[in-house]
Amino acid sequence: MPLLGNRFEIFERSSSFDEVTPLGGFKTHPQGHVEVWDEFRRERQDLRRFPYEYFPRGRVNWREDDNTYLFLADALVFEQEMHQILLDDWHLRSEKVLFLRDPHYKSPRFTRAWRGM
């Protein structure tokens, strides 16, 4: 979710629910952030100088036990309400989604600048 110029952009990769193989009671996109970010950087020259962990990021997993989606993300994704854009894009009903702030997705280099806006 880079801030480029004066605007935010959301970069996402998703998979059809039926295309993803379940593993250990969960379904998740098969690619990791490093691989996906490398694809974006090949497509967009303005992103090449940024490592994958520079911008806030997250992941959505589906949990079989209770048919719930787990939306794990940097706290900034929720503070800026960008998660709602993804819920709308992916047609997910919020009552079937748990929103979880995950320190694994923290983007410390960008955090101070983002919060100062």
pLDDT in tens, 46-91: 899 988 888 888 899 999 999 999 999 988 888 777 888 888 888 8
Strands of 1-117, DSSP E: 3-4, 7-8, 26-27, 58-63, 68-73, 97-101
CB 61 within 8 A of CB 25: no
How confident is residue 7, by pLDDT bands cut at 50, 70 and 90?
Answer: low
pLDDT confidence of residue 64: 94
pTM of this prediction?
A: 0.78
Name, in order, each residue with C-beta under 8 angstroms of 7's C-beta and a sequence gap of 6 or more.
none
Q: Bigger pLDDT: 116 or 66? A: 66
Residue 4 has pLDDT above 70, yes or no: no
Q: Which helix (H) or strand (E) holds 103?
A: none
How confident is residue 117, by pLDDT bands cut at 50, 70 and 90?
Answer: very low
DSSP state of 105: G
pLDDT confidence of residue 95: 84
Domain residue ranges in the chain: 3-115
Q: Bigger pLDDT: 87 or 107? A: 87
Q: Is 94 helix (H, G, I), strand (E, B) or coil?
A: helix
Give the Cα-Cα-Cα angle 61, 76, 27 (nearest 5 degrees). Answer: 5
**Mean pLDDT across the chain:** 83
Residue 96 has pLDDT above 60, yes or no: yes
Mean pLDDT of 89-98: 87
Closest to 14 (Cα-Cα) out of 52, 53, 54, 69: 69
